[in-house]
Structure 1
């Protein structure tokens, strides 16, 4: 049996962001049978504009659409900016939602996790990303939620937190889209 391929989209553009480090940790510690691939290139995608989404779609947007279409699942790892998801992530979902009804996210199992240095750990951003992806056609999975506060220090040194993050990856990988559709 081949690996379940999960494309990870990191909502932060900062090279050494906590959420990028979470994604990299999950990639190196992925459960057996699960392969995580981190999408790089979010910063190169222009803001969605229907005038750009015609015959000559920007190559960065095409790359994102192709990577999502080729993946078995999508995992977003994101912080929260001013009570919502980062603009770069929102923009990515906009590109992935088109063409309407058949965008790359349509029917794709989708989950969101992440951390922020706030008491709520990014819950509002995660809720917004799930809602937006669901409207875009993704199969947003209930119960896969890790909105981790990073106020207390290095969460990646906490085995319990890393265990919950890896548990979310396992739950996403184990999800059976055909059973959910039945």
Structure 2
């Protein structure tokens, strides 16, 4: 049986971030045959600038691109900052979208989950991340989005919430593209 590799982009840089803890939990409890790799180095990416993304892009960008390119699936685990996705996540998607049409996200099944201590649970950030990844060429599985409000819920100890988060990972791994009708 071959393994399915899932690259995880965490939208928070805080070491003690609840979303990072969710990513670590999913990595530690990955189903058999699944390897969940948290992509490291997002904090080292310079802001995307086409002028520095030529024949020798920054080492940090090459590193992140290789980590995602080596994966079969991409999972974003992110909070919401000011009603949208965190800048570090937006910047990572910008780097992963290049070169246009051949970036590391092209044709990768992609889903977004996470939590924010608001009643909305990160809904806007998750929608923005999905939209951006879709434009970058990912196959966004929007029906897998889990936007969990962190208000009055201990996300890491709530069985119902954990089941939704694990379920999203399992559905992302199980995703198979519909056969092409092109002859």
TM range (shorter): over 0.9
Which of structure 1's runs of 4+ aligned residues deviate more than 6 A?
Answer: none
Give the C-alpha shift of residue 181 in structure 1: 4.6
Deviation at 1:180, TM superposition (A): 5.8
Aligned-partner Cα distance in 1 for 2:180–2:166: 25
Identify the residue that residue 3 of structure 1 maps to in structure 2. 3
The alignment covers a number of residue pairs equal to: 181
What is residue 91 of structure 1 aligned with on the other side? 91
1:124 corresponds in structure 2 to 124
The 3-state SS of whatever aligns with 2:145 is strand
CA-CA distance at 1:32 after TM superposition: 1.9
Q: Is the Cα contact below 8 Å between 2:7 and 2:71 reproduced in 1?
A: yes
Quote the Cα distance in structure 2 between the aligned partners of 1:49 and 1:136: 16
Contact 1:111/1:130 (8 A) holds in 2: yes
Q: Shift of residue 55 of structure 1? A: 1.9
Cα shift readout 1:122-161 (whole Å, capped 9, x = no counterpart): 0000000000000000010131011001111421100111
TM-score relative to the length of structure 1: 0.96
Gaps of 5+ in 1: none
In structure 1, the residue matched to 2:164 is 164
Q: 1:148 to 1:181 in 2, by over 3 A?
A: farther
Mapped to 2, the partners of 1:181 and 1:45 lie a distance apart of: 36
Tell me the distance in 2 between the aligned counterparts of 1:153 and 1:163. Answer: 14
The answer (yes or no) to whether the contact 1:121–1:150 under 8 Å persists in 2 is: yes
In structure 2, the residue matched to 1:49 is: 49
**What TM-score, normalized to structure 2?**
0.96
Aligned in 2, Cα 1:102/1:22: closer, same or farther, shift over 3 Å?
same
Q: CA deviation at 1:171?
A: 0.2
Distance 1:87 1:77 in 2: 14
How much does 1:2 deviate? 1.5
CA contact (8 A) 2:39 2:68 kept: no
| 5+ long unaligned stretches in structure 2 | none
**RMSD value over aligned CA atoms?**
1.0
Residue deviations 1:53-112 (CA, integer Å, cap 9, x gap): 012211110011111111000000000000000000000000011111111111111000
